Chain A
Amino acid sequence: MMRFMLLFSRQGRLRLQKWFTAISEREKKKIIREMTTMVLARPPRTCNFLRWKDLKIVYKRYASLYFCLGVEDEENELLALEIIHRYVELLDKYFGNVCELDIIFNFEKAYFILDEFLMGGEIQETSKQIVNRAIESSDMLQEDDHSEWYDVELFG
């Protein structure tokens, strides 16, 4: 199973964190720190896999963002790499040429999309069409209900 997925920038700023097992906040911070330093220190054109404690770390860089997946020993590294890719595709489809800012400003969407795709550390739905349809239909629901109160939106 997957244990966590992290998205961070080249500067090591965390953009998304998804934990599939219950661990303490302290432990999370430690892992985030170790992952960012370890992955950012890797020279270019090295392989996408690392070993860290009892986990396999699979990471890949897309533009300014690093996607980093911690998976258990029996997981298939190549497919983990493709899980990252499929997630990028889903984000891309939703935001249209996704960039780091989309994920910063719409972080909750990034989490919702991830939730449609992965669950409990396993892949839930591999079909891009089905995931997209699910996300679009939930957006439809949102558009339906916000029409009445969108006007009252005020800053603060």
Chain B
Amino acid sequence: MPAVSKGDGMRGLAVFISDIRNCKSKEAEVKRINKELANIRSKFKGDKALDGYSKKKYVCKLLFIFLLGHDIDFGHMEAVNLLSSNKYTEKQIGYLFISVLVNSNSDLIRLINNAIKNDLASRNSTFMNLALHCIANVGSREMAEAFASEIPRILVAGDTMDSVKQSAALCLLRLNRTSPDLIPMGEWTARVVHLLNDQHLGVVTAATSLIATLAQKSPDEFKTSVSLAVARLSRIVTSASIDLQDYTYYFVAAPWLSVKLLRLLQCYPPPEDAALRSRLTECLETILNKAQEPPKSKKVQHSNAKNAVLFEAIALIIHHDSEPNLLVRACNQLGQFLQHRETNLRYLALESMCTLASSEFSHEAVKTHIETVISALKTERDVSVRQRAVDLLYAMCDRSNSKQIVAEMLSYLETADYSIREEIVLKVAILAEKYAVDYTWYVDTILNLIRIAGDYVSEEVWYRVIQIVINRDDVQGYAAKTVFEALQAPACHENLVKVGGYILGEFGNLIAGDPRSSPLVQFDLLHSKFHLCSVPTRALLLSAYIKFINLFPEVKGTIQDVLRSDSQLRNADVELQQRAVEYLRLSCIASTDILATVLEEMPPFPERESSILAKLKKKKGSSKLPDLDDSRRTVNGSSEHAEDTEAVNINVNQGPIHTSTDILNLNSTPSSGASLLVDVFSDMANPAPTEGSEDHFPRFVCKNNGVIYENQLLQIGLKSEYRQNLGRMYVFYGNKTSTQFLSFSTSVTSDIVLSSHLSVQAKPVDPLIEAGAQVQQILNIECVSDFSDAPVLNIQFRYGGTLQNIAVKLPVMLNKFFQPTEMASQDFFQRWKQLGAPQQEVQKIFKAQNQMDTDVAKAKLLGFGVALLDGVDPNPANFVGAGIIHTKTTQVGCLLRLEPNTQAQMYRLTLRTSKESVSQRLCELLSEQF
């Protein structure tokens, strides 16, 4: 047992630890621990009051036992008692115990909070620091509630000690991350910004961390920090004369503070003020220059600290993406690192270049390093570095180098680590599709993928090649020929059999003229693989066979024999058996014409974003995926104007700026080529509804698409369609930030009354949303009977460590289930009279909220869902409409009349339906629209 080095030794504790270490087996250790626990328990329960020291020692032992991985279910009270001790050492252990073994036991939390309160008020800086640490360590909501107002006060108070300021700043930061709603911005924010000017660099560092995080969420509030941060950075970086004393780390001036300041500046666009901007540029240039100077020390700490600042400066340059000069210099610097002897630097250079590749200014410069990156792929010994090289090749790929990059990736795939194969497969598949000028190359590439790494080729990849072949008739013959040849290999992957079966079933006729690939040869080839394949593949092959019967009447007999065999007709698998029976019957009884109609070539697939890309994003998880489609990163933070925010949204959906055409959206259907998202958001391009996101609900009464919710993090767009009593809603969640959302989950809740009238079923949603990306969720809606409330969509996700909760009222209203009904004037009046009972009619007279425009009113009524009936009302200025509300249980006919009075700026709305509640609800909904 080594001598206890310093401070107060707790000899009993040292003996105990020593005993544990001497235990020869796990059992012996458990036995020793149980003995100790029994001893401590009896001491705590004993009649004799324990003195502070013993209490401290036992609590410390419990802590040790807990850290060994054993459960501790007592001792919390004793630890809490220690908090109120006057002896620093006891208090300290008490706080340590509480910090490590947070217990949500609310009684204790109250006691703990009490002790913290006393220490915060003690004006003893050591005690205050302990208390602040405890709050930061526990960070629970109860604590946030108790101290949210106190901590900002301590932070900005004039007489607070420096070390307490540091603790208070970081404590506040922690609470802001866990419970941002409890930390309102206030008068203190302006004073916090001024801490950037503080004398004490430790205070400045802590304050910068706090401000950088707060500024991400509310950039406007902290705008003034930009000039202060630039000034501070400039003093550190450019003036060699200032001695920063202990804040100089291995000859590098305040590396932590520099990096934090550079990070803070990444919350903002480049400064608009010319002087400030040039001062910042000067800083960045100085940092780049310093990289070229000889090192001041051989120690790795020196170069790490220096390069840390350099990488952060490059991150800022990339973020600003506005100074071509700096971008190219950054790229050259990273190029040097690519060949550095330090593996760490090579790794970081590859990683950093990935983001640089997506800037239009530096994309070309990045491309010049292609040979180095390829050689990294081949020669690096470390798989994490090779992985970064794959990422970079993917990011730097464009039309000019795609063939080379795809070829290199394919050849790397042969030896690649198993852990990254699937990802490489996805990347190759995406690049091959995106940059295919010639689709024969694309087909070859995918078949190669299957050949080299068939096990890692997911469904998305082979579905996609089939979709593309079906949609492009110029490649069909080639595809048929190529798969036919590939299938001749003695051992081919099952995925190839799938692709081969599908393609020959559709396009085998295109190569049937050649006797070497006559119909019978094709069939025999496919069937020779049949018995080796799994059930789903066999099912696919059976479908290919029936397609053959249609394409090639001459092999009908052979195929019918196969289908008729016992192994098919009596197959134990229901699906296979059913297919065999049905296909056989179909081939026997259907005439050639019918067969040709039933088994016609597949129609082209609707074009939309490649599902492979979605898969890759999902697979990549959180790691930074250079997204080919939003190559221009958006300015995060500081969207001061509504237009800015919109520009951001639109940017997310638009194609790259430096690559002119996007092959993912095939030319065959240019209009529908744009993904659904664009349609949704095109709605919001005209008005500017970004602000005041709370109540977008009423705007959806007369329309189905648009943005329902938006804050600084998230945008939710909707697109919905209804038919009779059913509806489908596509919800698009857009991540507006430059950080991913994790643990993303949603649920739809209705109250008890509503849930019996309306059922909403949500399809699962991806738990991860990449920065700047959007994911879609489908909700299936069924109206059981008429209803008046609306379901609530609850969204939960983690953003930067804090849990975000958002609840949005979903715009599912009764009128969505309207079916417009056209009727003649006579019928209308007849029904109007029939619905004359007092409870069936609801009338409302109200003042116009908007300008009274006939066309707008018409559009709204149509959007509401009724048919407008012309020539029914004798007064042409009035509107008359009719429709039927479909619910599962019943249908409710509905007639309405809207009479504008332009002079009085009033409307009179009359509704008659067979059900009182329906009349009421429709009247409420519609009357708020004018």
Cβ of A18 to closest chain B Cβ, rounded Å: 9
Name the one of A51, A95, A120, A123 contacting B384, with C-beta atoms under 8 angstroms: A51
- The reply to whether the CB of B459 lies closer than 8 angstroms to some CB of chain A is no
Task: Please give, as numbers and ranges, the residues of chain A lying within 8 Å of B348 by CB-CB distance.
Answer: 49, 77-78
Residues of B126-145 at the interface with A, using a CB-CB cut-off of 8 Å, are 126, 132-133, 136-140
Structural contact, A156 and B622, CB atoms closer than 8 A: no
Task: Please give, as numbers and ranges, the residues of chain A lying within 8 Å of B382 by CB-CB distance.
Answer: 43, 46-47
Report Cα–Cα, A95/B4, bound state, in Å: 10
Task: Please give, as numbers and ranges, the residues of chain A lying within 8 Å of B347 by CB-CB distance.
Answer: 47, 49
Overall SS of chain B's interface: helix
Name the one of A112, A145, A154 contacting B87, with C-beta atoms under 8 angstroms: A145
Report Cα–Cα, A107/B14, bound state, in Å: 10
Task: Please give, as numbers and ranges, the residues of chain B lying within 8 Å of A155 by CB-CB distance.
Answer: 11-12, 15
Measured CB to CB, the nearest residue on chain B to A49 is B347
Most B CB within 10 A of own CB, among A14, A47, A137? A47
Name the one of B6, B136, B137, B206 contacting A94, with C-beta atoms under 8 angstroms: B6
Cβ of B376 to closest chain A Cβ, rounded Å: 12
Contact with A along B65-109 (1 / 0, CB 8 A): 001010000000000000000011100110010001010000000
Report Cα–Cα, A128/B245, bound state, in Å: 11
Contact with B along A121-156 (1 / 0, CB 8 A): 111111111100010011101110110011011111
Contact with B along A78-116 (1 / 0, CB 8 A): 110110011000000011100001101111110110010
Cβ of B256 to closest chain A Cβ, rounded Å: 5
Cβ of B801 to closest chain A Cβ, rounded Å: 6
- The reply to whether the CB of B402 lies closer than 8 angstroms to some CB of chain A is no
Report Cα–Cα, A59/B740, bound state, in Å: 23
Structural contact, B17 and A85, CB atoms closer than 8 A: no
Report Cα–Cα, A155/B18, bound state, in Å: 12
Structural contact, A54 and B6, CB atoms closer than 8 A: no
**Count of A-B contacts judged by CB separation below 8 Å:** 211
- The reply to whether the CB of A34 lies closer than 8 angstroms to some CB of chain B is no
Measured CB to CB, the nearest residue on chain A to B166 is A124
Contact with A along B45-80 (1 / 0, CB 8 A): 000000111000000100110010100000000000
Task: Please give, as numbers and ranges, the residues of chain B lying within 8 Å of A142 by CB-CB distance.
Answer: 7-8, 88-89
Cβ of A33 to closest chain B Cβ, rounded Å: 11
The interface size of chain A toward B, counting residues with CB under 8 Å, comes to 72
Residues of B144-198 at the interface with A, using a CB-CB cut-off of 8 Å, are 163, 166-167, 170-171, 173-174, 177-178
- The reply to whether the CB of A53 lies closer than 8 angstroms to some CB of chain B is yes
- The reply to whether the CB of A45 lies closer than 8 angstroms to some CB of chain B is yes
Structural contact, A126 and B69, CB atoms closer than 8 A: no
Known interface pairs A21-B801, A145-B87; A53-B622 also in contact (CB < 8 Å): yes
Known interface pairs A53-B621, A73-B622, A120-B170; A82-B801 also in contact (CB < 8 Å): no
Contact with A along B1-24 (1 / 0, CB 8 A): 110111110111011011001000
Measured CB to CB, the nearest residue on chain B to A29 is B69
Report Cα–Cα, A154/B16, bound state, in Å: 12
Structural contact, A129 and B174, CB atoms closer than 8 A: no
Q: Which of B227-235, B284-292, B304-312 contacts A (4 or more CB under 8 A)?
A: B304-312
Structural contact, A105 and B801, CB atoms closer than 8 A: no
Measured CB to CB, the nearest residue on chain A to B93 is A108
Structural contact, A119 and B133, CB atoms closer than 8 A: yes
Structural contact, A130 and B67, CB atoms closer than 8 A: no
In the A-B complex, the 10 residue pairs with the closest CB atoms: A54-B622, A120-B174, A78-B308, A127-B246, A46-B382, A47-B343, A141-B88, A120-B136, A142-B89, A79-B308
Q: Can you list 9 pairs linking A and B with CB atoms under 8 Å apart?
A: A47-B344, A48-B344, A76-B308, A77-B344, A78-B311, A95-B5, A101-B2, A139-B7, A156-B12
Interfacial residues, chain A to chain B (CB-CB below 8 A): 1, 3, 14, 17, 20-22, 29, 43, 45-51, 53-55, 72-74, 76-79, 81-82, 85-86, 94-96, 101-102, 104-109, 111-112, 115, 119-130, 134, 137-139, 141-143, 145-146, 149-150, 152-156
